[in-house]
Amino acid sequence: MNLKRTKLLVEPPATATSDIAFILIVFFLVCASVEPDKGRAQVLPRSEPEKEKDKQSQTIEVELTRTAVILNGNPLAAERFARAIALKLADKTRDEDRIVAVKSRKEVPYSHWMQVTGIIEDAGGVITLQIEEEETVVVQ
C-alpha cells in the first residue's frame, strides 16, 4: 500500500516582514541622536600686523574675566555693559570704527565669552580677538 506524503509548508510567514521592518525603523529613530545644529554666525577680521593695529587709536577695548566684563577699564554688570557698548557704538558709522577688541583671561568660560560677544554684535560691533602671543625667553 502506498501512503501519500503530506506536503509541508516551508514558506516563511510573509506577514512578519512588516513587523521586522517597523521594528528596524523604530530602532534607527531611537538610535539617531538629536544633535543641535543651530547657532550664531560670527565674522572675525583676519589678524593684522602690529603696524596696522596702531592706526586704530579709537578701538573699544573689552576685557573678560571669569564672571565680569571690563569696558575701557571700568568693570560693569552685563545689563549695564549692554547699554554702555550700545552708546559707544551708536555714533560710529564706519566699519573700522566699530571694531571692539576682546581680551579674555585664560579662565573665561566659553558660555560667558559667547554671551558678551553676542551683546557686542547685537550693538553693531565688529569683534577682534586680542591674544597675547607666548614667547619663550632663554635666560643665560
Partner 1 sequence: MIVKRRKMDATIPAMAMGDIAFLLLIFFVILARARDDSHLQWKPAPGQELSRPQTMNASVVIDKYNVTYLNGREIPAVSLGEALKKILGENPAGRRTVMFKVHHEVTAVYFEPVIEAISEAGGELHHILKEEKKRQ
Pick one of 70, 89, 118, 126: the residue that binds partner 1 (CB under 8 A): 118
Determine if 125 is a binding residue for partner 1 (CB under 8 A): no
> Judged by CB, which is closer to partner 1: 1, or 16?
16
Pick one of 6, 15, 93, 136: the residue that binds partner 1 (CB under 8 A): 15
Pick one of 38, 50, 57, 73: the residue that binds partner 1 (CB under 8 A): 38
Whole-number Å distance between alpha carbons of 136 and 32:
47
Quote the radius of gyration of the chain (alpha carbons, Å).
Answer: 31
Least Å distance, CB 94 to partner 1, is: 21
3-state secondary structure of 129: strand
Determine if 78 is a binding residue for partner 1 (CB under 8 A): no
Determine if 30 is a binding residue for partner 1 (CB under 8 A): no
Q: How far is CA 67 from the centre of its chain?
A: 18
Cβ atoms within 10 Å of 22's Cβ, excluding its own: 10
3-state secondary structure of 44: coil
**Amino acid sitting at position 82:** A
Least Å distance, CB 1 to partner 1, is: 41
Determine if 90 is a binding residue for partner 1 (CB under 8 A): no
What residues contact 65, with CB distance under 8 A and at least 6 apart? 105, 107, 108
Q: Which residues bind partner 1 (CB under 8 A)?
A: 14-15, 17-18, 20-22, 24-25, 28-29, 32-33, 35-47, 64, 104-111, 113-115, 118, 129, 131
